[in-house]
A and B are shown apart, each in its own frame.
Chain A
Amino acid sequence: MRSLLLAVLAAYVVAAIHAVLAFINKRRALLRVSEYAMAIGFVLHTSALIADWALYGHYPLFHLRETLSFLAWTLVASYALILYRYQARALGSVTLPLVSILIFVAIVTRAEPSEEAASMSTTWLFPVHTTLLLFAYAAFFVVFLASIMYLLQERELKLKKFSGIYHRLPSLTTVNEIATSSAAIGVTLLTVGIATGMLWSSARNGRVWQNDPKEIFAALTWSLYIVLILYRSSARWRGRRAAWMGVAGFALVLCTFFGARLMGGYHVFG
């Protein structure tokens, strides 16, 4: 499946380069190329994931290599949704290069075949648990990006000094809406994801909470985004403060995703 993934990488790299050039030069024609390349990449990517599933007999979200590829897939899907809903193309100039990097790392990471992967996939709860969480991470990444865009522009509006970036980003209201709705979606996914994880764990060895680093970070992340959502809905923390929370929340997400792997614990597989 390596060759298929290489084709995926090629398509995403083309999409990324065009998105970045379009961002710099404000050229619409380049955006079209970028979007076609992304669509082709996404179709190939989806088939690569399905092919992996069929070939190795387990849900393609277990090893690091698979996780990275799947994460890239969720990011592309989220970006496609944003494009459809908000036409906020500026996000692509960050998301698509990141997606390309994730796929590249996935390609160079060695595949580690293991019996464990197959055994984990026997129950439907585990794939649902991991899939939901990866989509939650993608949603939080979108919150993070939109928050950064908010902060950059808000800063320039306050200082009354406008750089090139200012003219290329979506409006404050748009990025604010993107951040708010993505945070709501992310928290929902995270909640259900954690719940299915607990169910699966209790079915496996009767314990709902393992108290390992990943779970602790996930709980922290969950609380932070819940606070963010509550504040946003009460409208007391609109704008800059909410945006800072979107940034801080993503730092926690990164800790949950990578930090736990480094610190070891129950959640380290493969």
Chain B
Amino acid sequence: MPIVLVGVNHKSAPIAVRERLAFSEDACAASLRELVDGELIREGLIVSTCNRVEVLTETTSGRFDDSAERVIQFLTRSDVPRNFFEANLYKHVDDGAVRHLFRVASSLDSLVVGEPQVLGQVRKAYSIALDAGTAGRVLNRLVHHAFRVAKRVRTETGIGANAVSISYMAVELGKKIFNSLKGQTALLIGAGEMAELSARHLINAGVSRVMVANRTDASARQLAESFGGEAVSFERLADYLAEADVVICSTGADEYVVTEQMAREALQRRRNRPSFLIDISVPRNVDPAIGKMPNMFVFDIDDLESVVSSNIREREREAERAELIVESEIMQFQQSLRALDAGPAIGSFRQTLQDIAKLEFNRRRAQLGPLTSEQEQAIEALLLATVNKISHPVLGQLRHSYDPSDADRIEAWRELFGLED
């Protein structure tokens, strides 16, 4: 039951190749049914996202090349010639394929290490394969194990801990300063795209009130409406500044929109409650001198970028610990696969018992005297039924022992009955 994975990702192939190989969600199920022929390929799963196209299969052939070849043919379509993508392909078998899937699910293979979206995409791919009926007992086991690994990596390492996008930094800084953003007030100055993105993150994190101020009131109203905020007057900025716990500033102005004097007044009216200002405009709109005032935290675009890149480095350090988790889980998965191997064991076990019954019958046949063929058949049926009834509970347990810890038990039974491997 080799597991074979063939695919391309953002490291191995340029977008021009990935987009041609990609499967749309609708086409995925039909393609899977085409791929899984029941002979060479027994089970299949396609993970197709903007960063990767991967085909995961469980095959009957012991020869890895045959199965890989079959998948390559499958990927080759009339408009996508083979030589167009073959150089970009990677092929993994067994432990290698398992490792790759575990790493993908744990977002160790992602463009930005630790970003959790890929797990949802694997989940989606799995549910498509389930619906198409191409995920069987090996892939079921493998994918569920991958989910488990992803969860372990997430809880046991800090891989997803620190924000790696500038728009998300507002949320992370907010949590560091206020513990929770629930019930806090945000003020957007300027109606830029980045401000909007940050605002959406803030709302998701629980900010209860968002004010939007812009030089042109119309665009402020428009932006405010788009996420249930309120447009406020740009002229009275100083007043709203005092109400805001989080300020995100991104106007095109070429002077300071938030001056030191305004911040000082705001701080006084806030009775020194802390607030932080994110200034993503170039040239800067928030007077950097405000950052020196107590309880005021100012981050300009350079600050954010340096924090983001240090967070990425931190994630990469955590990724090294995650790789160790993946390695140990590969071993556990292999053990659980051996338990799945109970199928053949069950067959040979029953065969051995039935052979014993037949052998004994033949040995005693002479002593039974003349029998009609019906009688002979009845005796044989009786013997086989007895053997089957007696062995039934044992076989039932064997069949259901998918638990890796049962692998030893199956091994013990096989030895007990002198079964060959």
* Interface positions of A (Cβ within 8 A of B): 26-28, 153, 157-158, 160-162, 164, 166-167, 170-174, 235-241
User: In chain A, what residue has the closest Cβ to B178?
Assistant: A173
Contact with A along B265-291 (1 / 0, CB 8 A): 000000111100000000000000001
Q: B288-304 CB contact bits vs A (8 Å, 1 = yes)?
A: 00011011010100010
Which A residues are in CB contact (< 8 Å) with B306?
Answer: 160
Q: Please state if A235 and B158 are interface contacts (CB–CB under 8 Å).
A: no
Q: Cβ of B162 < 8 Å from any Cβ of A? A: yes
Q: How far is the CA of A110 from the CA of B415 in the complex (A)?
A: 65
Of residues 247 through 263 on chain B, the ones whose CB sits less than 8 Å from some CB of chain A are: none
Chain A residues within 8 Å of B297, by CB: 157-158
Chain B residues with Cβ below 8 Å from A27 are 156
What residues of chain A lie closer than 8 Å to B274, measured between beta carbons? 172-173, 238-239
With known contacts A26-B158, A160-B307, A167-B158, A238–B179 Cβ distance under 8 A: no
A164 to B310, CA, bound (A): 11
User: Does B272 contact A171, Cβ atoms closer than 8 Å?
Assistant: no
Q: Once the chains are docked, how many angstroms separate the CA of A238 from the CA of B311? A: 29
C-alpha spacing A161/B297, complex, angstroms: 13
Within 8 Å CB of B272, what residues of A?
Answer: 235-239
Q: Could you show 13 A-B contacts with beta carbons less than 8 Å apart?
A: A26-B161, A160-B306, A162-B310, A166-B176, A167-B314, A171-B179, A172-B178, A235-B272, A238-B274, A238-B294, A239-B272, A239-B294, A241-B294
CB of A87 to closest CB in B, whole Å: 10
Complex Cα distance, B292 from A240, in Å, reads 12
Q: Are A157 and B177 in contact (CB under 8 A)?
A: yes
Q: A176's closest neighbor in chain B, by CB?
A: B274
Q: Are A172 and B156 in contact (CB under 8 A)?
A: no
In the assembled complex, B175 has its CB within 8 A of some CB on chain A:
yes
Residues on the B chain within 8 Å of A162, using CB: 307, 310-311
A170 contacts which chain B residues (CB < 8 A)?
A: 179
Hey, which chain B residues are within 8 Å of A238, CB to CB?
Answer: 271-274, 294-295
Residue of A160, A172, A174, A237 most packed against chain B (CB within 10 A): A160
Q: Is A173 a contact of B295 with CB atoms below 8 Å?
A: no
Given A160-B303, A162-B310, A239–B295 Cβ distance below 8 Å? yes
B160-175: which have CB < 8 Å to A? 161-162, 173, 175
CB distance from B165 to the nearest CB of A (A): 16
Bound: A173/B307 CA distance, A: 21
**In the bound complex, CA of A53 to CA of B307 (Å):** 56
Q: Is the CB–CB distance between A172 and B176 below 8 Å?
A: yes
Closest Cβ–Cβ distance, residue A42 to chain B (whole Å):
27
Main secondary structure of the interface of A (DSSP, over half): loop
Kindly report which residue of chain B lies nearest to residue A159, judged by CB atoms.
B303
Residues of B in contact with A, size category: 20 to 34
Q: Which residues of A contact B271 (CB under 8 A)?
A: 235, 238
CB neighbours (8 Å) of B216 from chain A are none
Q: Counting CB contacts under 8 A, is B204 at the interface?
A: no
In the complex, are the beta carbons of B177 and A171 less than 8 A apart?
yes
Which residues in A have their C-beta under 8 angstroms from that of B173?
157
Instruction: List chain B residues, Cβ under 8 A from A161.
Output: 310
Which residues of A have CB within 8 Å of B175? Answer: 171
Whole-angstrom CA separation of A237 from B271 in the bound complex: 9
Who on chain A is nearest to B174 by CB?
A171
Chain A residues near B157 (CB-CB < 8 A): 26
Q: Report if B155 contacts A (CB, 8 A).
A: yes
User: Which residue from chain B places its CB closest to the CB of A164 in the assembled complex?
Assistant: B314
**Pick the contact of A171 from B156, B158, B176, B314 — CB < 8 Å?**
B176
Residue of B155, B175, B177, B299 with most chain A CB atoms under a 10 A cut-off: B177
Taking a contact as CB atoms under 8 Å apart, the answer to whether B178 and A171 are in contact is yes
Closest to A236 in B: B272
Besides A161-B310, A239-B274, A240-B295, 9 new A-B residue pairs in contact (Cβ under 8 A), listed by A number = A160-B306, A162-B307, A167-B162, A170-B179, A171-B176, A172-B176, A173-B179, A173-B274, A239-B272
| Chain B, Cβ-Cβ closest to A175 | B179
Distance in angstroms between the alpha carbons of A235 and B274 in the assembled complex: 11
Tell me how far the C-beta of A190 lies from the nearest C-beta in chain B, rounded to whole angstroms: 26
- The CA of A7 and the CA of B155, in the complex, are separated in Å by 33
Closest chain A CB from B114 CB (angstroms): 13
Chain A residues, Cβ within 8 Å of B273: 235, 238
CB of B161 within 8 A of CB of A167, answer yes
Q: Which residues of chain B are within 8 angstroms of A166 by Cβ–Cβ distance?
A: 176
The interface residues of chain B lying within 8 Å CB-to-CB of A153 are 176
Q: Is the Cβ of A174 less than 8 Å from the Cβ of B307? A: no
A157 and B176 form a contact (CB under 8 A): yes
Closest Cβ–Cβ distance, residue A245 to chain B (whole Å): 13
* Distance to closest chain B CB from A210 (angstroms): 40
Least Cβ–Cβ distance between A153 and chain B, in angstroms:
7
Q: Which of A28, A161, A170, A171 has the most CB of B within 10 A?
A: A171
Rounded to whole Å, the gap between the CB of B106 and the closest CB of chain A is 16
Q: Give the Cβ gap from A33 to chain B, nearest Cβ, in Å.
A: 15
State the CA gap A162–B297 with chains docked (Å): 14
Q: For B156, list chain A residues within 8 Å (CB).
A: 27
Inside 8 A of B295's CB, which chain A residues have their CB? 238-240
What distance in Å separates the Cβ of A174 from its nearest Cβ neighbour in chain B? 5
Q: In the assembly, what is the distance between CA of A249 and CA of B348, in Å?
A: 80
- A26-B158, A240-B294 are contacts. A174–B299 as well, Cβ < 8 Å? no
Closest chain A CB from B207 CB (angstroms)? 15
B168 nearest CB across to chain A (Å): 15
A26, A174, A239: the one within 8 Å of B179 (CB): A174
Within 8 A of A (CB), among B305-363: 306-307, 310-311, 314
Residue of B nearest to A235 (CB): B271
8 A-B pairs closest in CB distance: A171-B179, A235-B271, A238-B272, A160-B303, A173-B179, A239-B295, A172-B177, A174-B179
Residues of B contacting A235 in the complex (Cβ-Cβ under 8 angstroms):
271-273
Q: How far is the CA of A236 from the CA of B294 in the complex (A)?
A: 11
Q: How far is the CA of A171 from the CA of B171 in the complex (A)?
A: 13
Give B291's nearest chain A residue, CB to CB.
A158
Q: Which residues of A have CB within 8 Å of B291?
A: 158
B residues less than 8 Å from A174 (CB atoms): 179
